Amino acid sequence: MTHWRTWLALLLTLAFSCGEQELTQLMVVVDTDFDLPEELDELTITVTAPEDFSNNTATAIPREEDLPMRLAVVHRSGPLGPIQVKVDGFLGGLPQIQRRAEVFFVEGEVRVLRMDLLRSCQGVSCSGEEACGAPTCTCGAEGCRPRRVTEDELPVWEGPTRLDFGMPDMGPVDMNEECVPVEEVCNGEDDDCDESVDETFDLMNDMRNCGSCGNLCDPSPTRGSSMCASGECTLVCDSGFRDCDDDASTGCEASLSSAATCGSCEQTCSGTTPFCDIDTCVAECPVGSTLCTDSCADLDSAVRNCGTCGNECNDAPNASPLCTEGSCGLRCDTGFFNCDMASATGCESNLREQSNCGACGVSCEADFAMTSCATGTCELVGCSPGYEDCDGDLMNGCESNLDGDPTTCGTCDTVCPVDPANATSVCDTGSCALNCDAGYRDCNSDPSDGCETFLGDVESCNGCGILCDGTTPVCSGSVATGFACSADCAAGEVDCGDSCVDTSTDVRNCGACDNVCPDPMRASPTCAGGSCGFTCDMGFEDCDGDAANGCEADFSSTSDCGSCGNVCDPVPNGTVACNGTCEIATCSGTNRDCDGTYDNGCETDITSDTANCGGCGVTCMVGNRVGAVSCVDGSCVIDDCDAGFADCDGDFATGCEQRLGTRDHCSECFDSCGGGATGRCCDGSCSC
């Protein structure tokens, strides 16, 4: 069986390489709302080229953390379509769901074809020209729709291209000669090009790769749980159950409270002692227990007879059943948690999802960022196109706009010229550029000296290199109306050395010829009524009223944030920034800003706060029969139980689930008085 990562190496190669041209590629993205691998344990994708070219098929063992899955299909030459794409989902070798689409390549572009396997489409029959679902997005209405996907429905792919391991205008690259790094997966190959193979996987303890890559231990065996120990899948039975038939596929099928397997796989109750009381065959059940078929049951705690005889608490994924005071509940397997608090889904989270990263309810999402919680810790995988994480702080995501921020233009370290002459610096799609003041141009294409050319000069009259000579030797006009070569000056204009100017508005001849208005920092000079002045560049202001230093106040600074004199005061346990208003930029150590209040900074230590334990909003709720709780190193713990109860399973989620004073838990957890007529607990003692 091929792991999904090999799908990335599949090529739909049409004829031969086409020489120098833009990459033409289709990125097939597959997602599903089926549970993996409980409802789908195998996926296949088949891509059929137009005309007489052969099919390409890949098969994968899907995993939740791989979603959404991607397959790159590259066009080399020949017709652009139609391409037939089919995705099939199987369980135990039997088909469960199928999606089909017909599409054309878009020449010179990488487009996305979304193929979702939806529960709502299972069993839905569509006509030959239709398919069930919304194959191009998750937002469309579900149901039968045309199988043909139009170009308008194929969004442009914004992630890394060449996921087929090829280079533009070439065939697939020999990975032994040129390694293209991708995320390391368990496949016996050096995916991330660090000269180590599968180094992030522990084959001795990884349930998904136990002993070898892809060897998945049963995630939810009957009445038990699985673990990988020393590279072998091991069945761990729930309390009171055993695997008596030595068949792992049936799980822990035997109840040790039944007469057939009383206390052990070998003991059967019959004859004069036909009933099983804990681990002893008896003639009748002792006081305090109830005879349910062939077992003496404590209806307060027996999972097969919870509250009443025959009321068996159901098994659930990644959990074992629990009976507390006659009510059924769940006890999560090690490493799993019931974040949605729904018994039907069991303990559905391993705290490695985007919405439950490291703790229930802790989100692993960040602005303009692609993140991953595959290790249980939120990590940055990549940034949205045009953005970068320049400050290394995951809290604010990929905060730097490389396409539009002059302080990080194209790269984190590229700063566009500060206060260029007669211009404002801008970042245009990752390259520094100039917005020239009215009446100026950058004629030498050198941003370092700004917009150096005045369009009212005789050698650059209304444009770079336009010379006024002959019968039109002077440059006449104004910044407001534009300039033009003319024979002499118009009425109201003054001849200032081959330039006809309006000295009431001309910044180079303001009030008189050659009276040049100063060009202060972060500002553009003005001339009104023959008097010089200036206007501040956007985002700057003259707060001190001193024309000599121009517009000295930067409204994006923490000293003048959004307005003159608005200082962003320091905050406890954090750093501050200005984004139009003062805000907390980063928090130090284990502190976080959980209340969203600026003045108290990063007020919460998430290692000890019961209202924010391990993350903001993660509350240590006082659960069943719990007296007191605390937060220790970011994890909720039970400090005290109500009188007569104890936390015997060590699981915070189940609270103090065990009532003391029973035969199994007399004075404390697991203080068993044994079975039989003498197996009674009286006033916290087995000596009655």
Residue 653 included in any domain = yes
Q: What is the bridge-based pairing of β-strands 582-587 and 387-388?
A: unpaired
Q: What is the pLDDT of residue 56?
A: 67
Mean pLDDT of 320-326: 84
Placement of tokens 């799609």 in the chain: 429
pLDDT above 70 covers what percent of the chain? 88
Count CA atoms closer than 13 A to 474's CA, side-chain side: 17
Report helix, strand or coil for 456.
Answer: strand
- Position 120 scores a pLDDT of 80
Q: 112 in a domain, yes or no?
A: yes
Segment 104-125 shows an average pLDDT of 84
Q: Tell me the average pLDDT of the chain.
A: 82
In the sheet that holds 94-103, the strands lie side by side as 55-60, 42-48, 83-91, 94-103
Q: 573 with 642, same domain? A: no
Q: Which residue has 């996907």 as its token pair?
A: 149
Residue 633 lies in a domain: yes
Q: Is the pLDDT of residue 496 over 70?
A: yes
Q: Is the dihedral of CA 648, 652, 654, 655 positive or negative?
A: positive
378 occurs within a structural domain:
yes
Final residue before a domain boundary, out of 153, 175, 192: 153
Residue 432 lies in a domain: no
650 is in which domain, residue-wise?
Answer: 626-659
319, pLDDT greater than 50:
yes
Residue 441 confidence class, pLDDT cut points 50, 70, 90: very high
* Averaged pLDDT, 500-514: 89
Q: Please report the sign of the dihedral spanned by the C-alpha atoms of residue 239, residue 245, residue 248, residue 249.
A: negative
Residue 55's pLDDT is 55
Pairing of strands 474-478, 499-501: parallel
Domain shared by 588 and 647, yes or no: no
Q: Which of 124, 153, 182 is the last residue of a domain?
A: 153
Q: What is the mean pLDDT of residues 126-149?
A: 64
> Residue 6: is it exposed, middle or buried by C-beta count within 10 angstroms (0-12/13-18/19+)?
middle
pLDDT tens digits along 49-99: 765 444 566 777 777 777 778 887 877 777 888 888 888 888 877 778 888
Query: What's the distance, CA 390 to chain centroid?
Result: 19
Q: What do you get for the CA distance between the two ends of the chain, in Å? A: 62
One domain, residues 51 and 105: yes
Between 222 and 630, name the one with better pLDDT. 630
| CA dihedral (445, 447, 451, 453) positive or negative | negative
Same domain, yes or no: 567 and 654: no
pLDDT for residue 206 is more than 90: no
**47 and 116, same domain (yes or no):** yes
Query: Apex CA 536: angle with CA 532 and CA 537, to 5°?
Result: 135
Residue 13 pLDDT > 80: no
Out of 401, 423, 442, pick the residue that ends a domain: 401
Give me the pLDDT at residue 601, please: 94
Instruction: Work out the pLDDT band at 269, boundaries 50, 70, 90.
Output: very high
Percent of the chain with pLDDT over 90: 24
- Are 562 and 641 in the same domain? no
Whether residue 13 is contained in a domain is answered as yes
Same domain membership, residue 653 and residue 564: no
Give whichever of 126-130, 418-422, 426-430 has the largest mean pLDDT: 426-430
Cα 333–chain centre separation: 25
**pLDDT at residue 22 greater than cutoff 70:** no
The residue among 570 and 490 whose pLDDT is bigger is 570
Mean pLDDT of 529-544: 92
Shared domain check, 562 and 655: no
Residue 553 has pLDDT above 50, yes or no: yes
From CA 442, how far away is CA 430, in angstroms rounded? 19
pLDDT recorded at residue 453: 92
pLDDT band at 179 (very low <50, low <70, confident <90, very high): low
State the average pLDDT over residues 324-334.
83
Phi-psi region of 412 (alpha: psi -120 to 50; beta: other; left: phi over 0): alpha
The confidence score (pLDDT) of residue 183 equals 62
How high is the pLDDT of residue 243? 92
Angstrom CA distances, 678 to 277, 312, 337, 622, 685, stand at 11, 27, 39, 37, 12
How much is the pLDDT for 463?
A: 92
Which tokens in the block code for residue 591?
Answer: 């502190």
> Does residue 168 have a pLDDT over 70?
no
* Residue 223, token pair as written in the block: 């009445």
642 shares a domain with 588: no
Asked if 371 contacts 393 with a C-beta cutoff of 8 angstroms, the reply is no
Nearest residue to 381 via CA among 649, 368, 505: 368
Q: What pLDDT was estimated at residue 278?
A: 80
Q: Is residue 511 part of a domain?
A: no
**How many other C-beta atoms are found inside a 10 Å radius of the C-beta of residue 247?**
10
Residue 424's DSSP bridge partners are 435
Q: How far apart are CA 545 and CA 38, in angstroms?
A: 71
Q: What number is the average pLDDT over the span 103-109?
A: 88
Do 634 and 598 reside in the same domain of the chain? no
Q: Are 426 and 401 in contact (CB under 8 A)?
A: no
631 and 598 assigned to the same domain: no
**More confident site: 165 or 205:** 205
pLDDT at 182: 61
Q: From CA 196, how far away is CA 146, in angstroms rounded?
A: 47
Structure-derived torsion over alpha carbons of residues 620, 621, 627, 633, reported in degrees to the nearest 10: -10
Average pLDDT over residues 273-287: 87
Q: Residue 311 has what pLDDT?
A: 94
* Cα separations in angstroms, 665 against 22, 322, 647: 73, 15, 11
What is residue 204's predicted lDDT score, i.e. its pLDDT? 86
pLDDT, mean of residues 609-631: 86
How many domains, in total, are found in the chain? 4
Select from 447, 451, 463 the least CA-distant residue to 421: 451
| Residues 53 and 145 both lie in one domain | yes
Q: What is the pLDDT of residue 358?
A: 81
More confident: 447 or 461: 461
| Per-residue pLDDT, 19 | 37
In a domain, 565, yes or no: yes
Q: DSSP letter string over 270-309?
A: BTTB-EEETTEEESSPPTT-EEETTEEE-TTT-TTSSSST
pLDDT tens column, 335-378: 788 888 888 888 888 888 888 888 888 888 888 888 888 777 88
Q: Work out the burial of residue 519: count CB atoms within 10 Å of its CB; fewer than 13 is exposed, 13-18 middle, 19 or more buried.
A: middle
Mean per-residue pLDDT, 187-194: 75
Beta bridge partner(s), residue 319: 316, 332
User: What CA–CA distance (Å, rounded) separates 532 from 473?
Assistant: 28
